[in-house]
Amino acid sequence: MRITPTKLADGRDLIYFDDSEPYASGGATRRLDDPRPLADRTAPFTDPATGATRVPTGPEMRLDRLTGEWIPMASHRMNRTFQPSANACPLCPAQPGSDYQDGEIPDTSYDVVVFENRFPSYWRLPGQDVSEVWQVDGQSLWPARHAAGRCEVICFSPGHTDAVAGVSTTRMRTIVEAWAHRTAFLETQEGIATVYPFENRGPEIGVTLPHPHGQIYAYPALPPKTATMARQAGLYQEATGGNLFADVVRAELDAGTRLLAETGHWVAYVPEAARWPVEVHISPRRDVPSLPELTEVEKQDFAELYPRLLRGLDHFFVDDAGVPMPLPYISGWLQAPVDPSLREPWRLHVQLFSVRRAANKLKYLAGSESGAGAWISDTTPERIADRARQALQEAGEL
Amino acid sequence: MRITPTKLADGRDLIYFDDSEPYASGGATRRLDDPRPLADRTAPFTDPATGATRVPTGPEMRLDRLTGEWIPMASHRMNRTFQPSANACPLCPAQPGSDYQDGEIPDTSYDVVVFENRFPSYWRLPGQDVSEVWQVDGQSLWPARHAAGRCEVICFSPGHTDAVAGVSTTRMRTIVEAWAHRTAFLETQEGIATVYPFENRGPEIGVTLPHPHGQIYAYPALPPKTATMARQAGLYQEATGGNLFADVVRAELDAGTRLLAETGHWVAYVPEAARWPVEVHISPRRDVPSLPELTEVEKQDFAELYPRLLRGLDHFFVDDAGVPMPLPYISGWLQAPVDPSLREPWRLHVQLFSVRRAANKLKYLAGSESGAGAWISDTTPERIADRARQALQEAGEL
């Protein structure tokens, strides 16, 4: 694998991860630089609404006192005069000779590429003080801070209609290396609380760009899910001396009723209290806080397992004609908090789930889930596991 | 107002709440009893899959150890052989002479009616021990309990195409009385942690029955949102001696930047850290734990305010032709926990929000929200408040 860091015209980082020689990106005849006339996104710009010159400010996040959560607001102003056109994919490699200038990836091919999101929800401006706190409306009840994290995009393949389910083990290994590389970098940035690499797949969850891609969020405040899991793991350790994550995997192995796949280094199972209509957790057999701490053999093993599971899950639902329906899913790495006092006990794992609950039905997050936060499963974890094992078999992956 | 409790054929409670004389339901010439051949839902039944006789069991809930949340499972078996037909509304009043027998409301008219959900997510069977705990797969890590709560349905109006936004103050007052009546009853049932009356409105959030109705959930475990707010309020009281809910309302009144409406007894505002594209909280001016503790004048005042706000919000988004679009929303009462040690400090309030973020766009809860629990606002609370005030004005309600 070759890693080639470069910059986009507006100053954003872009990094190519090439599988193997001959490297797809950055060859002598290919472009590496972004030819677009994008303004430096940290430079003063003319506000189109008022005509005034403005200095970009990063997004703000405010403390929601009733929940203790920090909510970032799209309250920042950036130079958004350059709008991508709708008729071409900004994640496809650059097309030589094309007059389409909106592509985010300047090279004419790539294997895997990561770049900073152009209009990020979290963004730290150079030199910004991450500890700065101010008050909304001058009220001491309402502290606000810079939403000084970072949002990156990861393209999994140059092929516009590809899917992670269909990539080779070699490509999947490159993807794992890219996730680990970005986690290692982002975890050491000032003010970052944890790193969450994830993929949203399917129009059913609002994905408008079909090009296979994911995102990597470096949060400046611990996400509620991570905070809750850290609290639970801490309470469990106090009570039993054990690692909650390790004991959950051990109990799933003991029970055996919801196991989907086992490899030398990973276990995939439907969790005992699954809340989504389809939910799979994929955990290593060892306590690993975050991706950079995986061994080579663990990374390779995951690269072999993960696309197999995805191909199986693409058979979970079939349409009226019996044709398998690609599963809309959200899949992300729950990694340890950066804070040393919360980093252990932990065991990173993938939580993959779907909002589809039948061929023609979605699960909506209505009053109970969205209003009260109280989840209700429409099925049972055992039924999910039975169907998932069948689907893996039907796909020839079990 | 007249309250008439009765029973459905399968033993479920149904309660009419009539506005005023002449009462719409239960008159001498009208039916009060359910004529349907529904089996007692607690009686043994024949399992259609196996032909075996089975005793109904209530739903189970399992502890999700990683989050500490209790997740109810649709794992129970009830007599589901009687399926409602699709061509008529089960929430409309009974139609004399019609052969449609699936309506849930036996009377030929009603004002407001509440009944137990036929296929509830939470249900306590008669005599069931709410403290009983067992282990999933024999693992001590995984306690399970009866999901021994209760799910009720509330119909807000007999008119199939009506909306809460359009009801009279008299009808709204009856709805408030019904919510308070049910809360008072449910809060005193064994094992109930809190009561959440809510409405889901619009196909955008999965509502399939357009008939104006809501639900009332009596949870057997504190919903995560209520638990989080109770924890935050407790920490705030320890630190400052104050009531967090009261101080939030006071700060909103001081700031004034996000206020939508004030009455003698209520304040409606967009909260300072709103996370949804449209979000409005409606709070009394006084610390009230739950609906039964509202005074007559507070209930009347709310009945005047709430439909006005809904009519205004139905102007928040307009289509391409400039026609206002009915707002899809979730609106619910965050009431105090029943547990005396958590019941104060509290102040009940309505949290109303929408997944619509533009005339042709919805907010999807994708990776960050659903996977990590980390919310990102696409707008600012001040922009929401500005537009909401405009909408109220355009609707003639401000």
So which residues of B are the catalytic ones?
213
Distance of CA B342 to the CA centre of its chain: 21
**Which residues from chain B sit within 8 angstroms of residue A206, using beta carbons?**
362-364, 366
pLDDT of residue A56: 82
Q: Which domain holds residue B333?
A: 224-394
**Which residues from chain A sit within 8 angstroms of residue B368, using beta carbons?**
121, 196, 198, 217, 223
Q: Degrees (nearest 5) of the Cα angle A216, A219, A225?
A: 95
Q: Is the peptide bond before A307 cis (omega within 30 degrees of 0)?
A: no
**Nearest CA of chain B to the CA of A1: how many Å?**
28
pLDDT per position as a tens digit, B112-171: 999 999 989 999 999 899 999 999 999 999 999 999 999 999 999 999 999 999 999 999
The answer for B 20-49 residues in CB contact with A (under 8 A) is none
| Of A294 and B87, the one with more pLDDT | A294
**Which residues from chain A sit within 8 angstroms of residue B135, using beta carbons?**
none
CB nearest A63 (choices: B273, B363, B376): B273
**Which residues from chain A sit within 8 angstroms of residue B209, using beta carbons?**
none
Of B189, B219, B249, the last residue of a domain is B219
CB-based contacts of A179: which residues, under 8 Å, 6+ apart? A154, A197, A216, A291, A333
CB B329 within 8 A of CB B352: yes
Say if the Cβ atoms of A371 and B225 lie within 8 Å.
Answer: yes
The answer for A 327-346 residues in CB contact with B (under 8 A) is 330-332, 334
Mean pLDDT value of segment A39-60: 85
Rounded Cα gap, residues A156 and A17, in angstroms: 10
Mean pLDDT rounded to a whole number for chain B: 93
**Inside any domain, residue A208:** no
pLDDT per position as a tens digit, B273-323: 999 999 999 999 999 999 999 999 999 999 999 999 999 999 999 999 999
| Structure token pair of residue B46 | 């024949």
Q: Which of A70, A73, A281, A347 is the mutation pick for testing B, counting most B CBs within 10 A?
A: A73
**Which residues from chain A sit within 8 angstroms of residue B226, using beta carbons?**
372-373
Supply the pTM of this predicted model.
0.95
CB-based contacts of A139: which residues, under 8 Å, 6+ apart? B251, B254, B255, B272
pLDDT per position as a tens digit, B229-285: 999 999 999 999 999 999 999 999 999 999 999 999 999 999 999 999 999 999 999
Mean pLDDT value of segment A133-149: 97
- pLDDT confidence bin for B76, thresholds 50/70/90: low
**Nearest CA of chain B to the CA of A30: how many Å?**
34
Element (H, E) at B187: helix B169-187
Do B209 and B236 lie in one domain? The reply is no
Do B214 and B68 lie in one domain? The reply is yes
User: Which residue is listed with tokens 């004529």?
Assistant: B35
- pLDDT confidence bin for A46, thresholds 50/70/90: confident
Rounded Cα gap, residues A275 and B122, in angstroms: 15
Q: Which of A76, A60, A56 is nearest to A149 (CA)?
A: A60
Q: Is the peptide bond before B22 cis (omega within 30 degrees of 0)?
A: yes
pLDDT of residue B173: 98
Say if the Cβ atoms of B64 and A271 lie within 8 Å.
Answer: yes
With CA atoms as reference, the chain B residue closest to A199 would be B367
pLDDT of residue A81: 47
- pLDDT confidence bin for A47, thresholds 50/70/90: confident
pLDDT of residue A50: 84
Does residue B135 belong to the interface with chain A, where contact is any CB pair within 8 Å?
Answer: no
Does residue B232 belong to the interface with chain A, where contact is any CB pair within 8 Å?
Answer: yes
Rounded Cα gap, residues A234 and A228, in angstroms: 10
Say if the Cβ atoms of A75 and B380 lie within 8 Å.
Answer: yes
Give the sign of the dihedral formed by CA B224, CA B226, CA B227, CA B233: positive
Do A250 and A340 lie in one domain? The reply is yes
Say if the Cβ atoms of A198 and B368 lie within 8 Å.
Answer: yes
Rounded Cα gap, residues B159 and B172, in angstroms: 14
Do A233 and A335 lie in one domain? The reply is yes
**Which residues from chain A sit within 8 angstroms of residue B73, using beta carbons?**
377, 379-381
- Is residue A76 among the annotated active site residues? no
- Dihedral, B353, B358, B359, B362 alpha carbons, nearest 10: -70
pLDDT of residue A76: 63
Structural domain count of chain B: 2
Asked which of A31-35, A124-128, A184-188 is least confident by mean pLDDT, the reply is A31-35
pLDDT per position as a tens digit, A224-242: 999 999 999 999 999 999 9
Percent with pLDDT over 90 in chain B:
80
The conformational region for residue A138 under phi > 0 = left, psi -120 to 50 = alpha, else beta, is left
Distances (CA, A) of A93 to A25, A30, A101, A109, A259: 10, 11, 11, 5, 39
Say if the Cβ atoms of B69 and A375 lie within 8 Å.
Answer: yes
Distance of CA B66 to the CA centre of its chain: 27
Does residue B277 belong to the interface with chain A, where contact is any CB pair within 8 Å?
Answer: no
Question: What is Dmax (Cα atoms) for chain B?
Answer: 66
How large is the angle between the packed helices A296-313 and A169-187, nearest 10 degrees? 120
Say if the Cβ atoms of B71 and A377 lie within 8 Å.
Answer: yes
CB nearest A72 (choices: B226, B366, B376): B376
Do B258 and B240 lie in one domain? The reply is yes
pLDDT of residue A86: 58
Rounded Cα gap, residues B201 and A120, in angstroms: 31
**Nearest CA of chain B to the CA of A376: how many Å?**
5
CB A316 within 8 A of CB A279: no
Distances (CA, A) of A61 to A49, A64, A193, B307, B379: 24, 9, 14, 32, 12
Residue B93 maps to which CATH number?
Answer: 3.30.428.10
Residue A361: half-sphere exposure toward Cβ, Cα within 13 Å = 10
Do B313 and B189 lie in one domain? The reply is no
Do B272 and B185 lie in one domain? The reply is no
Q: Which of B295, B231, B285 is nearest to B262 (CA)?
A: B285
pLDDT per position as a tens digit, A158-173: 999 999 999 999 999 9
Mean pLDDT value of segment A16-25: 91
Do A359 and A236 lie in one domain? The reply is yes
How are beta strands B349-354 and B278-284 bridged, if at all?
antiparallel
Q: Which of A199, A376, A383 is the mutation pick for testing B, counting most B CBs within 10 A?
A: A376
Question: What is Dmax (Cα atoms) for chain A?
Answer: 67
Mean pLDDT value of segment A242-250: 98
Do B228 and B293 lie in one domain? The reply is yes
pLDDT per position as a tens digit, A63-104: 999 999 999 997 665 555 445 565 689 999 987 766 666 789
Catalytic residue (one of A76, A160, A181, A213): A213
Mean pLDDT value of segment A354-381: 95
CB-based contacts of B171: which residues, under 8 Å, 6+ apart? B19, B111, B112, B156, B157
Do B83 and B179 lie in one domain? The reply is yes
Q: Which of B199, B272, B281, B379 is the mutation pick for testing A, counting most A CBs within 10 A?
A: B272
Q: Give the number of A-B residue pairs with CB atoms closer than 8 Å.
A: 245
How are beta strands B69-73 and B13-18 bridged, if at all?
unpaired
Mean pLDDT value of segment A263-278: 98
Strand, helix or coil at A4?
strand
With CA atoms as reference, the chain B residue closest to A346 would be B66
Does residue A232 belong to the interface with chain B, where contact is any CB pair within 8 Å?
Answer: yes
CB nearest A255 (choices: B139, B232, B380): B139
- pLDDT confidence bin for B79, thresholds 50/70/90: low
pLDDT higher than 90, residue B49: no
Mean pLDDT value of segment B189-195: 98
Task: Tell me the residue type at B241.
Answer: G
pLDDT of residue B48: 77
| Structure token pair of residue A308 | 């197999």
Does residue B354 belong to the interface with chain A, where contact is any CB pair within 8 Å?
Answer: no
**Inside any domain, residue A386:** yes
**Which residues from chain A sit within 8 angstroms of residue B164, using beta carbons?**
none
pLDDT of residue A39: 83
**DSSP E strand boundaries for A248-300:** 259-262, 266-269, 278-284
The b-or-e profile of B95-113 (16+ CB within 10 A means b, else e) is: eeeeeeeebbbbbbbbbbb
Does residue A272 belong to the interface with chain B, where contact is any CB pair within 8 Å?
Answer: yes
Of B219, B250, B276, the last residue of a domain is B219
Mean pLDDT rounded to a whole number for chain A: 93
**Inside any domain, residue A360:** yes
pLDDT of residue B81: 47
Do A267 and A388 lie in one domain? The reply is yes
Rounded Cα gap, residues A36 and A10, in angstroms: 9
**Inside any domain, residue A278:** yes
Of B159, B191, B219, the last residue of a domain is B219
Rounded Cα gap, residues B391 and B398, in angstroms: 9
User: Which residue is listed with tokens 């996400």?
Assistant: A223
pLDDT of residue A120: 94
- Show the DSSP H helices in chain A as ranges: 169-187, 224-240, 244-255, 296-313, 340-343, 372, 381-394
Rounded Cα gap, residues A395 and A212, in angstroms: 21
Residue A96: half-sphere exposure toward Cβ, Cα within 13 Å = 7
| Structure token pair of residue B122 | 């939470």
Asked which of A20-24, A86-90, A297-301, A318-322 is least confident by mean pLDDT, the reply is A86-90
Strand, helix or coil at A397?
coil
Do B146 and B57 lie in one domain? The reply is yes
Does residue A376 belong to the interface with chain B, where contact is any CB pair within 8 Å?
Answer: yes
pLDDT per position as a tens digit, B200-218: 999 999 898 999 999 999 9
Mean pLDDT value of segment B16-39: 81
pLDDT of residue A116: 97
User: Which residue is listed with tokens 């596991």?
Assistant: A385
